[in-house]
Amino acid sequence: MATITVDVWLYGPLRQYGVEETREGRTLVRQGNSYANLHVDLPTSSCVCDLLASLSMPTEERGITFINGSLSAMPGLQPDLDRPLQDGDRVAFFHLRSMWPFQYRHGAARTPELARAMDEGSRPFHHRATRPE
């Protein structure tokens, strides 16, 4: 069976889904106090949902996700589950409690799936100023 290798970064509490040693299909590259980096081998027809399954990571635990530097998912909006993965892709999963700089929220490159979902009105976030009563 032909395989691809995906470079996976797990940030915050999601690092628990990394491994301490080499296991079939997963090789820990490095691990720190707040991240784990591993290489995951998957069948060539794999999608993001297959990667999550191989890590035993529930999709609901991830917040922001980047694939090759493009935003692919946010809390409450995960249109990337069926996105095909390619050999050498870099996928970064951030925990729900992870924050990222506000200035990038509206200017980050997005995957086509996320852009389509956002354009269709599936916007889980909005900012509104409120006055104290």
Domain contains 12: yes
Terminal-to-terminal C-alpha distance of the chain: 64
Domain contains 133: no
CA 74 to CA 90: how far, in whole Å?
17
Give the burial string for 74-95 (b: 16+ CB within 10 Å, else e): bbeebbbeebebeeebebbbbb
Domain contains 56: yes
Domain contains 15: yes
The domain tally of the chain equals 1
Domain contains 13: yes
Domain contains 94: yes
Structure tokens belonging to residue 69: 């530097």
Domain contains 124: no
CATH of the domain at 57: 3.10.20.30
Domain contains 131: no
How much is the pTM?
0.76
Per-residue pLDDT of the chain (133 residues; tens, 9 = 90+): 799 999 999 999 999 888 655 566 677 777 778 889 999 999 999 999 999 999 999 999 998 899 998 889 888 889 999 999 999 999 999 998 776 655 455 566 677 777 677 677 644 544 444 555 5
Query: Which residue range forms the structural domain that includes residue 34?
Result: 3-119
CA 28 to CA 15: how far, in whole Å?
11
CA 131 to CA 70: how far, in whole Å?
35
Structure tokens belonging to residue 31: 């691990």
